[in-house]
Amino acid sequence: MEERRRESRKKLMAFTPAYDSERGRLLGYLDNLTLQGAMVISQRPLDIDQMEMLAIEFPGDLFGTAVTRMKIQARVARCTPDEESPDAFKIGLEFVNLAPENDKIIRALLERYHFRHQI
């Protein structure tokens, strides 16, 4: 598969749940994050090109903001079995129309909670 990523992914250190806010169910947990999208480890697969209203719950208080939950429209870009866990799936989500306030929050989240190396 051709690598089209414009930005390096950041592996998150914090345990960060991601929800399908329209259905009110846990999608899984963030594995990595960029300003363009996220990888979620999930127990159930999602259909490619499916749209999700993703709700991310942040661990603790985020530097410079009181936000603890953020909603972002996202498209399922890929869904593959997780080689490390046979009962899980890696779901690649591409953010759609990221609002400026969400951009700021994601930048703060990445600065505070990511490992200090690129993957």
Which residues, in sequence order, are CB contacts of 113 under 8 Å at separation 6+?
12, 13, 14, 16, 59
Quick one: fold of 10-113? Thrombin, subunit H (2.40.10)
pLDDT digits (tens), the chain, 119 positions: 444 545 555 454 457 899 999 998 999 998 888 999 999 999 999 999 999 999 988 766 555 566 678 899 999 999 999 998 889 999 999 999 999 988 988 887 777 766 444 44
From CA 1, how far away is CA 65, in angstroms rounded? 38
Q: Locate the domains of the chain by residue range.
A: 10-113
Phi-psi region of 64 (alpha: psi -120 to 50; beta: other; left: phi over 0): left
- Model pTM score: 0.78
